[in-house]
Structure 1
Amino acid sequence: MVRVIEDVFGIAVNPLTQKTEHVRRFTLSTEKDMSVAILTLGAIIQSVKVPDFNGKLADVCLGYDDVAGYYRNQQSYFGATLGRVANRVAHGHFKLCGKDVSITRNLKDRHHLHGGYVGFDSVIWDVVGIHKDGITLQHVSPDGHEGYPGEVTVNINFSLNEAGCFGMRIEARAKATTCINISNHVYFNLAGHDTGRETLFQHMAMIKANTIVDTDQEQLPTGKLMPVRNTPYDFSTLTNLGKRLNQVYRCPICGFDNNYCVNVDPNQVKLVARAVHPCTGRFMEVHTNQPGLQFYTANSLPDEERGDIPNIGKDGAHYVKHGAFSMQTQKYPDSMNNASFPTVIINPGQLYDHQVVFRFGACPKRI
């Protein structure tokens, strides 16, 4: 039986209302000791605790112990829900229904990233449902916010079950034609959130994709898809992540930050990726109905070996470059400026339906 426990995580100013509100935390836990904690601030996934093959529990999700930690490190988007449109929008501009739309340029004053200056990660979400296996959070994004047309109402149902499946169902409706591409930027290290680069290099990863979105030096899509076969980007079979990271270390982004085209049926939730930490036996599967998966290896976190200022997380942990990974289900980046990509346009009366399930478990050391 899943338990849902609520406590107060802290207080914060809601940027939309300018009112001080409590940030509530909801912890979902199973009889097998797995638990997931979600905050109303940014609909953030604050912790994910999973036992290894010996039953030893570890928090495998990067995050902070207080609200101040999330504000100090907002640019890292740890565990945060991203929207209205996750990822990059080139030059903060696109055409919609034949009209030019300009949205905020919060990335180097040139491009739009993860919803803008006050995206879904920054607001305090309303609790509209507490269920036997989880909660539902809601946010109403005003017409014109960050430049996006149309009021949008978003509901996220977070759930957990005894089989180790942590699910998110993201639904949204708009009052006017607009663009929606919501994701979540949860960072994982299956050895434990505090174990760093060495253990990340031990991970094995698999992504069921034959192509990635090709990007330029600014990580903006060129409109082309790049085959991954016989390249370091090929994770079509379970592959050592450390080996692959060493192969791409000298590329411009010094790691992976790529949208994999998993091409699933939007009406079905299918397995698209898997990660395994052989030393603990912990594994994670990603099941979704979305056509893209952004695979990111924490390239922008501090490199302490080069003297960068540490990013201090939960329990004083040092979060470092290549110390975690993220598998963000989504549609392709900058889709509104690339007609061949899956559309992110939503019309009034149309339902945006994004489903993702992270299934956790543990198996013997030998994979």
Structure 2
Amino acid sequence: MSTTYSIRSNRLIATFDPDGARMRSLCLDNGPNLVLDVDDTTSQELRDAYGGTIVGPVANRVCGGQVSIGETTHQMPCNENGATALHSGPDGLDRAIWTVAAQDRTALQLTHHLPDGHGGLPGNRDIEVWFEVADNTLTFRVTMTTDAPTPASIAHHPYWRVTPEHTLHIHATHYLPTDHANLPTGVVAPVADTLFDHRTARPIDPGTDHNFCVAKQAKAQPAPMATLTTPSCILEIASTEPGLQVYSGAFLPTIPEADIAPQTGVALEAQGWPDAVNHPDFPNVICTPDHPYSQVTQYTLQPAT
């Protein structure tokens, strides 16, 4: 079993596991765990559903696992019936044993190296992740450097515990419709008059596993993305990323020992738009030696009133 590492502020306590750089718990004001988690000796099913992990280096789905950079097409391993590479296939960052590089009371740094060709992608890549707490905010920072052009769209993948009484407000006027393989069709569609209109807070439709187009490009500083409200707490997410993938948790496993079942948790993943490597009009996700990848995402929590 992996050793877990804790950080804390005056209001938050968070624990992490180097196996997948997983966030195992996040508690506000000494309250209950706000994210889904289960002991690995009880079940691996939540782990296999990416619960709490860092996913990438290319989060979400890539059509056929194919990435073209210049005149070269790179083949990522597909892990969804040969049709898509989900979260970079079966050996993505979620399966890595990360190195704990530094820790103090309020912050934790983890690192991982991907050699050239790993996961079918070019470049010797070094990824650094920081988690830091201050008062009621958890900040997630990630950077990736490379010695060759390569795609990078890394995401943090906790499942936030919800009840049927939750609502979600998203700062997005458009979303990406998907096809039978849950891949973007290429259309950037208005949310108006659809089940995905979260401009006003509403419950998440069970069929939601879609990207919301919060911005047309990455931002220099975190900007508001979404607010999730449950009977017990309010979560506000701000990020530098242009997309927010929202997954309703419709296919979460049933693990009675941990009070986990379909739709008991939702994933709210700040990231680049999915399959951007195959859609030139989507925000660019290729990083280079001169332009490394970086993301800052902030989770601010407060009790529901």
Normalising by structure 1, report the TM-score: 0.79
Aligned-residue offset at 1:275: 0.7
Q: Distance in 2 between matches of 1:260 and 1:110?
A: 23
Tell me the amino acid that sits aligned with residue 299 of structure 2.
F
What whole-Å deviation, never above 9, does each CA across 1:124-146 have from its counterpart, x for those lacking one? Answer: 10111113421110000111111
Q: Which residue of 218, 235, 250 maps to 1:284?
A: 235
Q: Distance in 1 between matches of 2:24 and 2:88?
A: 20
Q: Provide the residue aligned with 1:336 in structure 2.
A: 277
Please tell me whether residue 222 in structure 1 is matched to residue 174 in structure 2: no
Q: CA deviation at 1:93?
A: 0.9
Correspondence for 2:219: 266
Distance (whole Å) between structure 2 residues aligned to residue 70 and residue 81 of structure 1: 19
Query: Which residue pairs with 1:89 in the alignment?
Result: 62
CA 1:299–1:88: 2 relative to 1, 3 Å: same
Residue 357 (structure 1) shift:
0.4
How far does the alpha carbon of each residue in 1:104-161 deviate from its partner, in whole angstroms, 9 at most, with x for none? 0111122101021111111110111113421110000111111111111000010001
TM-score, with structure 2 as normaliser: 0.95
CA shift digits 1:298-320 (9 cap, x unpaired): 01124xxxxxxx335xxx22311
1:307 aligned partner: none
Given that residues 15 and 23 in structure 2 are in contact (C-alpha distance below 8 angstroms), is that contact kept between their aligned partners in structure 1?
yes
Query: Which of 37, 41, 47 is the equivalent residue of 2:15?
Result: 37
Aligned partners of 1:212 and 1:228 also within 8 Å: yes
List alignment gaps of at least 5 residues for structure 2.
none
* C-alpha deviation, 1:26, in angstroms: 1.2
Query: Which one has a bigger Cα radius of gyration?
Result: 1
| Corresponding residue of 1:26 | 5
Deviates more, 1:126-135 or 1:98-107: 126-135
Aligned partner of 1:6 in structure 2 is none
User: 25, 37, 59: which is aligned to 1:63?
Assistant: 37
How far did 1:24 drift?
2.6
Contact 1:183 1:329 in 2 (8 A): yes
Q: Distance in 2 between matches of 1:150 and 1:216?
A: 31
Letter in 2 for 1:38: F
Which of the numbers 46, 50, 53 marks the counterpart of 2:28? 50
Q: Indicate how the Cα distance of structure 1 residues 85 and 92 shifts in structure 2: closer, same or farther if over 3 A, else same.
A: same
Find 1:159's aligned residue among 132, 135, 145.
132
What SS does the aligned partner of 1:274 have? Answer: strand
Provide the alpha-carbon RMSD of the alignment: 1.6
Corresponding position of 1:188: 160
Match of 1:350 among 265, 288, 291: 291
Rounded Cα–Cα distance in structure 2 between residues aligned with 1:73 and 1:205: 23
Q: Aligned partner of 1:260: which letter?
A: F
Structure 2 Cα separation of the partners of residues 142 and 71 of structure 1: 27
Select 1:106's aligned residue among 79, 82, 86.
Answer: 79
> Does structure 2 retain, via aligned residues, the 8 Å contact 1:301–1:311?
no
Match in the other structure for 1:299: 250
- Equivalent position SS for 1:215: coil
- 3-state secondary structure, aligned to 1:146: helix
Check conservation: 1:70, 1:78, Cα contact below 8 A: no
**Structure 1, residues 252-309: CA drift from partner, whole Å, max 9, x if none?**
xx521110000175112111100111x33x100001000000011101124xxxxxxx
State the partner residue of 2:302: 361
Q: 1:147 corresponds to which residue?
A: 120
Distance (Å, rounded) in 1 between the aligned partners of 2:109 and 2:42: 24
CA distance in 1, matches of 2:298, 2:39: 25
What letter corresponds to residue 292 of structure 1 in structure 2?
G
1:65 CA displacement? 2.2
Listed as ranges, the gaps of 5+ residues in structure 1 are 1-9, 11-22, 191-198, 246-253, 303-309
* One-letter amino acid of the structure 2 residue matched with residue 284 of structure 1: L
Pairing 1:77–2:77 present: no
